[in-house]
Structure 1
Amino acid sequence: MSTEQRATLDAILRQAPFPADLGVDELREQLRALLSAQPLPADLTVIAGELGGVPTAEVTVEGVEPRHAMLYFHGGVYVLGEAALSADLASQIGRRIEAKAISVEYRLGPEHPYPAAVDDALAAYQGLLQNGTSPADIVLAGESAGGGLAVALLIRARDHGLPLPAAAYLMSPYADLTLSGESMRTKREADPLMNPDALLARIPDYTAGQAAALGLISPIFADLSGLPPLIIQAGSHEVLLDDATRLAREAAAADVEVTLAITPGVPHVFQAYHAILDEGTEALDRAGRLLAGHMSEAARVGVERTIGA
């Protein structure tokens, strides 16, 4: 771990806050400008696609023959973000597990409040299954709100009786829109990027009068039984730290296999800064190994079930 790298990143992030009093359009433009300023790796190809009628951005890496598929859900408090703008982080996971990364352009509030995002996630997953992709060859991944959405998708897929993917990788999941985690208070000063006031300002855009404690809005309050393995990573310097730890605890209590890793001294979705932060690369490497193992195990169990049948 590099103290200097962490200090440099903290300073950079504190120069680009997203104030709570900005409107949605201004916030979207700020985020688009910030993410677009970072050039994509030269070996990436991003093309528009669709799954189940939902727009997607398909990300492939030159020289990597995809053997698997990953549905990716971007962050942005269910109000901001675009599928293609997460291409780099999605590709970092995809290249580690030899998967095509399919970033889902789910609908956002306030124009399309809950349950539009969950409906789109489910439709995209159903489309992937209908295309003939084996569930054992599918993983989900998401950052921040995208992490929470990935869990909501698993719950909906389970409740619809669909075969579930091999695993899900959740980076700093936004899993409690009631903002009841103690880290909202204790990590407020340490977090260089997120703050409770900014989060609170955007919640009505997504909930639109629905209770924030609904399980598909805030998965820490949902029945998580029967879900596939979850890989949850967060940094110790983020107000959403308790979202990650409580989600892991609730999943484990429901007999779900969980791998939780908290990296000290790093911010929200620190994996996105892998180019300048060793901890980001190391976390992605660990997640890649775990995802590959879960897919191998899912394929083995699938073969055993087929033989047994």
Structure 2
Amino acid sequence: MSNPGLTELITYLRSNPPKSPLPADMRAWFAALTQATPVPSDARLERSACDVPAFWITPPGVDTSRVILYLHGGAYILGSPETHLEMVFRLAKCAGARALSVDYRLAPEHAWPACREDAVAAYRWLLGQGVAPSHIAIAGDSAGGGLTLSTLLALRDAELPMPSCAALFSPWVDFTSSGDSAKTNGSGDPMVDPRGMAMMVGAILQGKDPEKSSPLFAEVGGLPPLFVQVGTAEVLLDDSRRLVDKVKAAGGEAVLDAWEHMIHGFQAFPTYLPEATSATERAGEFVRARLF
């Protein structure tokens, strides 16, 4: 399919590689990539009083009693609320809610599951502030999508009240890279190189078992409705497909929203892709309908 914007985006991504695989260089590279889309003048981070570092993002006119707990992507090693401000602002605006974007601890300085502990603490804090579970959604992209699923499982196992729903953008839920798309889509996805995933997993898990740490292989009964969005050209496509199939087989509700020819993280680049805006709107509508 001819898509000039997608071609231009792929060229941009491939022509701006990181300087080295060192965390500091990778983080600088990732932060620079996210500057491809300007942040709206009314989008800002407001530090919260949460027990873990987290920032409010409040689009004008939204219902501030409704909250999206957002977990940013970046392979558990990169990213921050700042790198994801534009995308989270856009999602929150579409959902008619404000967002609490968690600045969770990153690997390799903090091994898994430190990030999950921070996400669970942020959710507990929201409950302690009197926010009703039915007024909370959890969302995240890439590693943040995997962290969203892991957080839901931890909340369920702790017998905490569950949020109304969750939105997962291209979630990384399998640390073993056992999906077929890790092989078939390896050359077409400029954001995820399957050859480097084992090294990243080592930095994240630091000796923990990849299969046991992967939320894809957990029991997935008892979860709230999931909206799982992915591009068909992604290395992580089969993470999404298998997750949705597994949740449905367990009797849960899960929607697979697959976008033809789209690459990993496409939702973050509306400057290049009108599909990025449309995809985020679709996710926002799912969340808005369930934040009752």
**1:16, 1:231 → 2: CA distance?**
31
**1:142, 1:28 → 2: CA distance?**
18
User: Residue 48 in 1 paired to residue 44 in 2?
Assistant: no
Tell whether the 8 Å contact from 1:57 to 1:84 is kept in structure 2 after alignment.
Answer: no
CA shift in 2, pair 1:151/1:64, >3 Å: same
Instruction: Give percent identity, aligned residues only.
Output: 38
SS at match of 2:282: helix
Which of 254, 265, 274 is matched with 1:278 structurally?
274
**1:33, 1:286 → 2: CA distance?**
27
Tell whether the 8 Å contact from 1:58 to 1:100 is kept in structure 2 after alignment.
Answer: yes
Structure-to-structure mapping, 1:160-171, within 5 angstroms: 160-171=158-169
Tell whether the 8 Å contact from 2:76 to 2:204 is kept in structure 1 after alignment.
Answer: yes
Tell whether the 8 Å contact from 1:17 to 1:193 is kept in structure 2 after alignment.
Answer: no
Which of 133, 136, 140 is matched with 2:134 structurally?
136
Aligned letter for 1:176?
D
1:274 deviation in Å? Answer: 2.3
CA shift in 2, pair 1:98/1:290, >3 Å: same
1:17 deviation in Å? Answer: 3.2
**2:216, 2:282 → 1: CA distance?**
24
Aligned letter for 2:244?
A
User: Residue 259 in 1 paired to residue 255 in 2?
Assistant: yes
Which of 93, 98, 112 is matched with 2:110 structurally?
112
SS at match of 1:66: strand
Partner of 2:191: 193
Aligned letter for 1:103?
S
CA shift in 2, pair 1:15/1:50, >3 Å: farther
**1:62, 1:45 → 2: CA distance?**
11
Which of 224, 232, 247 is matched with 1:228 structurally?
224
Gaps of 5+ in 2: none
User: Residue 11 in 1 paired to residue 11 in 2?
Assistant: yes
Which is further off, 286-295 or 72-81? 286-295
Structure-to-structure mapping, 1:240-251, within 5 angstroms: 240-251=236-247
Aligned letter for 1:156?
A
1:263 deviation in Å? Answer: 0.5
Which is further off, 253-262 or 7-16? 7-16
**1:211, 1:260 → 2: CA distance?**
28
**1:140, 1:278 → 2: CA distance?**
24
Aligned letter for 1:280?
A
1:37 deviation in Å? Answer: 6.0
CA shift in 2, pair 1:244/1:62, >3 Å: same
Q: What's the TM-score once normalised by structure 1's chain length?
A: 0.90
**2:7, 2:32 → 1: CA distance?**
24
**What value does the CA root-mean-square deviation take over the aligned residues?**
1.7
How many pairs does the alignment contain? 292
Tell whether the 8 Å contact from 1:2 to 1:278 is kept in structure 2 after alignment.
Answer: no
**2:42, 2:76 → 1: CA distance?**
29
**1:70, 1:177 → 2: CA distance?**
26
Partner of 1:299: none
Gaps of 5+ in 1: 297-309
Q: What's the TM-score once normalised by structure 2's chain length?
A: 0.95
